[in-house]
Chains A and B, each alone.
Chain A
Amino acid sequence: MSTTIEPTPTPERHAMGKSMKRKEDPRFIRGHGRYLDDFTLPGMLWMSLVHSPYPHARIVKIDKTAALAVPGVVAVLTGEDLAAHNLAWIPTFHGYDKQMVLAVGKVLYQYQEVAGVIASSREIAQDAAELVDVEYEPLDPVVNPFQSRDDKIILRDDRENKTNHIYHWEVGKREETDAAIAASDVSIKERIVFQRCHPAPLEPCGILADMNPATGRLTLYLTSQAPHAHRTVVSLVTGIPEDKIHVISPDLGGGFGNKVPVYPGYVVSAAASVVLGVPVKWIETRTENLTTTGFARDYHMDVEIGASKDGRVTALKVATVADHGAFDAAADPTKYPAGLFGIVTGSYDFPTAFTELDAYFTNKAPGGVAYRCSFRVTEASFAIERGMELLARKLNMDPSELRLLNFVKKEQFPYPSPLGFVYDSGDYHMTLRKALDMIGYEDLRKEQAQKRERGELMGIGISTFTEAVGAGPSKHFDIMGIKMFDSAEIRVHPTGSAILRAGTKSQGQGHETTWAQIAAEELGLDPQNIMVEEGDTDTAPYGLGTYASRSTPVAGAAIAMASRKIREKARKIAAHLLEAAVDDVEWTNYKFQVKGQPDHALTMQEIAFAAYTNPAPDSEPGLEATYYYDPPNLTFPYGAYIAVVDVDRETGAVKVRRFLAIDDCGTVINPMIVEGQIHGGLTEGFAIAFMQEIVYDESGNNLNTNFTEYLVPTSLETPHWETSSTCTPSPHHPIGAKGVGESPNVGSPAAFVNAVMDALAPLGVTHIDMPLTREKVWRAVRDAKGTLSA
């Protein structure tokens, strides 16, 4: 079915574009949210995991005796026990690899799961877990991907190819790009690292697995951003038919990609429930969350940009070493092992480009794709925005001028990038100019010049990112073979309200409100009377879930299209009731009216009632539709962010004085919700830029195992965010919407780093890797100056 594009949004809308208050809030503000740990079932047992203290070791022996002797302990499971049920290994979402559930033979990262204790209370499970006696034979760890590359110590003896190299990926024109850079008047080359970090939602992951021997059904209450995908994976892994598996993803306390993978704790609990025939609950601790669940980033990128002496870019080359940890558990679409990294040409019109990536195993926790990354778009965006900044410095050109000179022009859309994307729409010049104007760029540069004369360090940093979201068209995208469509099912009740179910799963994005707004707009119903449900695989239509900013582009489209199907049927009913030909009935002002006769009109409510009481002939009664939307393309939200910072030269402290974010996500469903998403993402970007990193020391010890070491900024450190928007709708999307959830995380780190580098520019400092800790800045100032006076 071809996509119907509505005309450009009109100012007076019924529900779209309104900052309506969220419909889900009444339960949360009363403390009546239902999160995973709020669920209990009679006879429920608790599971607690045993973790490896070693980053790399053979397992010699596991002695369960002491643990089993603790009163209240029901079972102790190890990898061997799971192997007997073919559950020792599970496929990773990526499909290129598998991962251990409980360690078999060896452990490959510190804190790796080694055994599971099932007991009658949380405390007893933890007490007994301490008593499981595991004997290890430590092996030398490999914690550096460049060291791993040497293959001196092979980590994965379960794999056929005895190498730590996981895969090579490339796209673009290597020779042409190399030649263009070599022939350029000016070029920059820099190693840019995006450090390993972690999404750390406030609610940790968990599961309540309930095998009901009477019904033969396995119900899994699960912290899942993709409940249907999880159901299918569980079925494939366990052999239990999908109709006997019921996944319920309840209210989620944040996701940010952390709740996409399948974790060992889930499998152990589900297996225990199946074997024991009672409910088994596992809620991870914060330490487990930070040390074992999907990390983010850890890309080491060599960025090269060539340009003519007047600043026109000629070529881009990025070569990356990716550290995936012990298993390649990065949740990427199958054909995209490096996600959508190909967006690395960003907002610029590069005549040619080439990017390649090599991924390696190390003795660290598995993962890679998380933390609002849009499938590695965060890494790509950071690389190009830092690269352009370095180029501007080398050319002695204002960074805004360099960008304006090289932006893809409005007329060039749809724009085929040299790395294979077709950008749908954008007006980069307009948005950046708006940002420069709003921040008072000229005045800031004057102020900076004056401050520099006094030796004060003030910086202005720009980030003009374009990201790729909305995965994705079935031609290119699948997760474990399942295409990345999404779905909506809408049923209108006789008295004119409706229920809407979608294949996505909000973790705070407000779908109960925004999905209702889309449908309300399309159907002329009151959004307050459209009940939205997600997360229950027994009732929701199949979808691939919520992550990578795909919900609005894909499920939002499905909602619009399902609504239009309903509208088509409603039109027939209207024609029947109005005694007119179907072709003479049109949808105007949220009513069906006979053309040219506004007083001969019917509301959707009236139609709905008729659908059940007076259906059209040759037509089924009722009024509902389901739509599975296969997007024709990704969408390309973009933005212009500007940060202003002041650096304390004595302590290296950076104060973010101002931050302006202008986002263009096409049609906006609820401006208030979009603004909230921007605030949250900017705060995460701020944390990444200044204080977050998961560090493993040379012995493989994870140094950031709780919130005292892995830092989440508080209300006091967090800057005030100024936000605004422009709107270039997506021409291929039914409501012109592009999605926006990850844009702030994609665009902001470079703005912060560019600002600090700009502040330090007079000292000759060009690049510092994140996080920009006080010490790193202090050291850069001190080394540049020579001595530091008190």
Chain B
Amino acid sequence: MFPAPFDYHRPGSLDETLVLLAQYGGDARVLAGGQSLIPAMRFRLARPAVLVDINQLDELAYVREVDGMLAIGALARDAALERSSLIESSYPLLFDTSAVVADPVVRQMGTVVGSLCHNDPSGDWSVTALASRAQVVVRGSTGTRVVPIDEFLVDSFSTAVAEGEIALEVRFPSPPPRTSGSYQKIERKVGDFATSAAAAQITLGDDGTVAQIGIAIGAAGPTATRVADAESALRGIKPTKDAIRAAADAARKIADPVADPRGSVEFKKDMAGVLVGRALLAAFERLGVGGLR
């Protein structure tokens, strides 16, 4: 299966990239890892007239902490997070996620930002980005803007990146002390689209109550979905079994999956709840809070 013909550009600078994107508008697609785009092109589901290959822009391959944020550049590969001791020690939710995206070979080319821009309803990074309250830096010829993740993820395969723009970076707030998280995923096998997924990130206050919380589910709606009611169930209180159960039920309620060979709507909704429960449990246990099983 071969892509339909297209024109190909490999700009040597970000400025050149923006010129090309402005020039070709909706006819152009950005090529970074290509691990979602190229398969779509091979099936001719995507037929861009122009590809703008940004792989030469090495300066975008960063994973670094700056100004209280973890900044991940557009060319940072999934594997860079998977192999990072910084991510392993300080960003457990991201570390969990980086181990289960696609498969270990695809992760060596696929990018975090690219995954967010692709916005597959079953994608992993979007779920984690929601739970972590990430932001995406978008640049076009009119300038740069920072888009909160809740606004960035618009619909299936659709984001806030407009024609002529490019997503340059995703930022995760560097977590305060007593923060942990967990990513839970059910997949029939490595590399399958998620049957169900959940991300939870929690910060505990000095008094042991939940100071900050982010809970999101994946493969349960047109895009990854924040479970605001689950967050409310736990915010401001010391965690209890009942509160976790309530959070899980909130996930079941808001989950809006499609039926497919991975499961019926009924099954997937229940799994959304099960995984939110497990994500919360794991996050709390990582923070040393026991007695919640």
Contact = CB atoms under 8 A, between A and B. Distances in A.
Contacts of B249: 790
A238 B73 CA distance: 61
A716 interface: yes
Contact of B267 (A122, A712, A778): A778
Given A714-B103, A790-B273, A691 B188 contact: yes
B248 A790 contact: yes
Contacts of A287: 1
Given A695-B261, A788-B270, A651 B186 contact: yes
A123 B41 CA distance: 13
B264 interface: yes
A708 interface: yes
Contacts of A285: 1
Interface in B182-236: 186, 188-193, 195
Interface string A113-134: 0000000001100110010000
B166 to A, nearest CB: 28
B2 A122 contact: yes
B263 A775 contact: yes
Interface in A548-564: none
Contacts of A691: 188-189
Interface string A280-322: 0000010100000000000000000000000000000000000
A775 B245 contact: no
Interface string A762-790: 00000000000111001100000000101
B121 to A, nearest CB: 14
Q: Interface residues of A toward B: which range? A: 20 to 34
B274 interface: yes
A15 to B, nearest CB: 40
A712 B188 CA distance: 10
Contacts of A122: 2
B4 interface: yes
B270 A778 contact: yes
Contacts of A130: 44
B103 A651 contact: no
A137 interface: no
Contacts, number: 56
Interface in B131-145: none
A437 interface: no
Contacts of A713: 189
Nearest to B247: A790
Nearest to A709: B261
A725 B248 CA distance: 49
A775 B265 CA distance: 11
A650 interface: yes
B27 to A, nearest CB: 19
Contacts of A703: 261
Nearest to B103: A714
Interface residues of B, number: 26
A711 interface: yes
Contact of B189 (A651, A695, A711): A711
B76 interface: no
A716 B190 contact: yes
B277 interface: yes
A790 B267 contact: no
Of residues A123, A778, A788, A790, which shows the largest number of chain B Cβ atoms within 10 Å of its Cβ?
Answer: A790
A717 B190 contact: yes
A774 B263 contact: yes
B4 A779 contact: no
A774 B186 contact: yes
Nearest to B274: A650
Given A714-B103, A790-B248, A123 B2 contact: yes
Interface in B240-283: 244-245, 248-249, 261, 263-264, 267, 270-271, 273-274, 277
Contact of A775 (B2, B248, B264): B264
Nearest to A713: B189
Interface in A637-663: 650-651, 653
Contacts of A650: 274
A691 B191 CA distance: 14
B5 to A, nearest CB: 8
Nearest to A704: B261
A651 B197 CA distance: 12
A779 B265 CA distance: 13
A778 B264 CA distance: 11
B4 to A, nearest CB: 7
A130 B270 CA distance: 42
Contact of B191 (A714, A779, A788): A714
A717 B191 CA distance: 11
Contacts of A774: 186, 188, 195, 263, 267
Of residues B1, B188, B273, which shows the largest number of chain A Cβ atoms within 10 Å of its Cβ?
Answer: B188
13 contacts: A122-B2, A127-B4, A285-B1, A651-B271, A651-B274, A703-B261, A708-B192, A708-B193, A711-B188, A712-B189, A773-B263, A779-B267, A790-B277
Interface of B: 1-2, 4, 44, 103, 186, 188-193, 195, 244-245, 248-249, 261, 263-264, 267, 270-271, 273-274, 277
10 closest A-B pairs by CB: A775-B267, A790-B248, A714-B190, A123-B2, A775-B263, A790-B245, A790-B277, A650-B274, A716-B190, A717-B189
Given A126-B2, A778-B267, 15 more contacts: A123-B2, A127-B4, A130-B44, A651-B274, A691-B188, A704-B261, A708-B193, A711-B188, A712-B189, A714-B189, A774-B188, A774-B195, A774-B263, A790-B245, A790-B249
